[in-house]
Amino acid sequence: MEEINFFGETNFRNMRRKFGIKVDDRRRHFYVIGKTGMGKTEMLKNMAVQDIKLGHGIGFVDPHGEAVEELLDFVPEARVKDVVYFNPADTEHPIAFNVMEQVDPDKRHMVASGLMSVFKKIWPDVWSARMEYILNNVVLALLEYPDSTLLGINRMLADPEYRQKVVDYVKDPVVKTFWLQEYARYTQRYEVEATAAVQNKVGQLTSNPLIRNIVGQTRSSIDMRKVMDEKKILLVNISKGRIGEDTSRLIGGLLITKLQLAAMSRVDIPEEEREDFFLYIDEFQHFATESFVNILSEARKYRLSLILSHQYIAQLGVGTEAKVRDAVFGNVGTIVSFRIGAEDAEALEKEFFPEFTAIDFMNLGKYTIYVKLMIEGVASRPFSANTLPPPSPLERSWRQEVIQFSREQYASAASKVEQGIMEWTGVGAMGAMPVALASVQPQVLYDARCSKCGKDTKVVFPPDGKRPVYCKSCRKKLKRKGESDRPRTPEEQGVKKKRDTQGLKQVLQEALRKVNQGSPALNLKEELGGKEGVLKPGETVRFDQ
């Protein structure tokens, strides 16, 4: 009998019958929608627990963290070593994850596109065509350079020597042309304007040690292909409350991109030999990038099955940004709806008519669902049901053993990671520091005795017994005495300097005489010895005696 994952119980006319979905039908993906607090996460958790018990490979991406932490308690002893617990909030034991590591030439544009989608999702307000154009060329160049990481983005834009090294490795003619013929011709002012937004936004992410210690390691400790082929349990705790929303979206988006690449790399083995891998994504809207358009349409043949959950359809985009929404409803085989709002109810009514109307969707109770189930490759007639209660806990929790094993197997000490990143950036040694910092040395002080009062004091030079030495108070007294003995200028004594106005008086009198005789306007610049000014007929000049 084929394995079935049970997730509900029919409630029509009180006929209680437990039901679920077969593995082959799950390959056509599973979509869950409903308002907050209706029971979506509990249903996903129930399904994940069954997959763990049945020995399947699963991934669970949780932007809240609570469901993943609860799943740790349901891992049986036999599967402790199958778990990869990815928790970025565990800052003392960062797991290495480099999305740019050893990407095949035919997959580089896919990685670059995935990164662009993630960045666009994180920075929708500042995203522009120019920003995408430059950032895309940076990423494509770095993907060809050995040991590249996301930290190389800003370094490539700011460090000409590093940029030259990277460009020398580039084989793609279009990317190379951009750097040698287009970027090289940017004026300094235009270069600053064009790259400022990229450096600002990427810098905000990579300056966070939590992200930097994960994406800044050149060798990933998690092999996603091995995770899928060996049916491991990938639990991703990217709690927004602990690591921040942008960090959560970035890491989640990068992981999903890497899983997509790993799934597509299975093309080298026959389809019947590919192990099924079930990827649960709670709060799917946070990671709903355009990459999912391809994943939803192509993942089935690579045995990557998606279970997606979120609150309302508009989260997937509207208008021209509705590609993900269209891909979801065009490809998912099973749709499960909890209580939803009026706008979503009208949209789903088309899928569930005539069994259920928009009003029915809006009046559903907690843990009550309407289901359009894929059965043997054919969509069933919609029906109502209740979700199953939480699974019974194990006799003993292996949570601590799971976390400890995952740390030992996949994580490194934070201090070691930071040292490696410092060496990569060139500031690992004192000699590589800026001269202004490296040259600062602690000042040496010498013991001495004041020549005036005899008190002990400190001086910055070795006392030689010839030059007088003064303490701080005596030095102040001598300074004041020296100022009082110095001859003072008349200005300092408050004596006004008598102005010599006799010469100016004579010049102005001569000028007035010529004016009274009807002479043309006089240029007083010559008369006043180079001073600017023109005296016209009828004007008067007043000066003090």
How does pLDDT run across 105-154, given as a tens digit for each residue? 888 888 898 888 888 888 888 888 888 899 999 999 999 999 888 999 98
Same domain, 85 and 123: no
Query: What gap in Å lies between CA 246 and CA 249, rounded to an integer?
Result: 5
Q: Which of 240-254, 287-301, 332-346 has the highest mean pLDDT?
A: 332-346
Alpha-carbon dihedral angle through residues 270, 272, 274, 278, given to the nearest 10 degrees: 150
Same domain, 181 and 244: no
- Closest Cα partner for 387 from 372, 373, 366? 366
pLDDT greater than 90 at residue 72: yes
Query: What gap in Å lies between CA 336 and CA 19, rounded to an integer?
Result: 13
Residue ending a domain, among 472, 489, 523, is 472
Let me know if residue 524 belongs to a domain: no
Same domain, 342 and 385: yes
Percent with pLDDT over 70 in the chain: 85
Let me know if residue 256 belongs to a domain: yes
Identify the H or E element spanning 384.
strand 383-387
Let me know if residue 193 belongs to a domain: yes
The mean per-residue pLDDT over the stretch 152-158 comes to: 89
Let me know if residue 422 belongs to a domain: no
Look at the block and give the residue holding tokens 């749709």.
Answer: 335
Question: b/e string for 50-77 if b means 16 or more Cβ within 10 A?
Answer: bbbeeebbbbbbbbbbebbbbbbebbee
200's CB contacts (< 8 A; 6+ apart) are: none
Give the chain's domain count.
3
- Taking residue 413's Cβ as centre, other Cβ atoms within 10 Å add up to 12
Do β-strands 534-535 and 522-523 pair in parallel, antiparallel, or remain unpaired?
antiparallel
Extended strands (E) in 401-512:
446-449, 456-459
Same domain, 196 and 248: no
Let me know if residue 301 belongs to a domain: yes
Residue ending a domain, among 413, 431, 453, is 413
- Closest Cα partner for 141 from 102, 181, 179? 179
- The pLDDT of residue 431 is 44
Do β-strands 334-337 and 30-33 pair in parallel, antiparallel, or remain unpaired?
parallel
C-alpha 243: how far from chain center: 11
pLDDT bin (cut points 50, 70, 90) of residue 489 is low
Same domain, 55 and 161: no
Global confidence as pTM: 0.75
pLDDT bin (cut points 50, 70, 90) of residue 433 is very low
Query: What gap in Å lies between CA 63 and CA 75, rounded to an integer?
Result: 20
- The pLDDT of residue 430 is 42
Sheet holding 277-281, edge to edge: 18-22, 4-10, 383-387, 368-372, 334-337, 30-33, 304-310, 277-281, 57-62, 233-237, 83-86
The mean per-residue pLDDT over the stretch 222-237 comes to: 92
Helix, coil or strand: residue 90: coil
Let me know if residue 500 belongs to a domain: no
Q: Which of 240-244, 304-308, 428-432, 507-511 has the highest mean pLDDT?
A: 304-308
Same domain, 302 and 390: yes
pLDDT bin (cut points 50, 70, 90) of residue 435 is very low
pLDDT greater than 90 at residue 209: no
Same domain, 351 and 236: yes
pLDDT greater than 70 at residue 534: no
Average of per-residue pLDDT values in the chain:
83
pLDDT greater than 70 at residue 103: yes
pLDDT greater than 80 at residue 502: no
Look at the block and give the residue holding tokens 């084929």.
Answer: 2
Q: At what angle do helices 291-298 and 323-331 cross, to 10 degrees?
A: 10
Same domain, 79 and 227: yes
- The pLDDT of residue 484 is 52
For residue 271, the enclosing domain spans 2-96+219-413
Same domain, 268 and 155: no
The mean per-residue pLDDT over the stretch 443-452 comes to: 71
- The pLDDT of residue 198 is 85
Contact assessment for residue 474 and residue 452, using Cβ atoms and an 8 Å cutoff = yes
CATH code, 50: 3.40.50.300
The pLDDT tens digits of the residues spanning 271-310 come to 888 999 999 999 988 888 877 888 888 888 899 999 999 9
C-alpha 349: how far from chain center: 38
Same domain, 383 and 363: yes
Let me know if residue 342 belongs to a domain: yes
More confident position, 294 or 70: 70
Contact assessment for residue 305 and residue 29, using Cβ atoms and an 8 Å cutoff = yes
Q: In sequence order, what are the beta bridge partners of 33?
A: 310, 337
Question: Omega into 434 within 30° of 0, i.e. cis?
Answer: no
Helix, coil or strand: residue 5: strand
Q: Which of 129-143, 192-206, 491-505 has the highest mean pLDDT?
A: 129-143
Let me know if residue 298 belongs to a domain: yes
Same domain, 177 and 269: no
Which residue stretches of 399-464 are H helix? 399-410, 414-425, 435-438
More confident position, 344 or 188: 344
pLDDT greater than 90 at residue 58: yes
Q: Which of 274-278, 336-340, 530-534 has the lowest mean pLDDT?
A: 530-534
Residue ending a domain, among 413, 431, 464, is 413
- The pLDDT of residue 518 is 58
- The pLDDT of residue 205 is 83
Same domain, 119 and 140: yes
The mean per-residue pLDDT over the stretch 526-544 comes to: 53
Do β-strands 57-62 and 277-281 pair in parallel, antiparallel, or remain unpaired?
parallel
Query: What gap in Å lies between CA 69 and CA 403, rounded to an integer?
Result: 10
The pLDDT tens digits of the residues spanning 250-277 come to 899 889 888 888 888 888 888 888 999 9
pLDDT greater than 90 at residue 535: no
- The pLDDT of residue 285 is 87
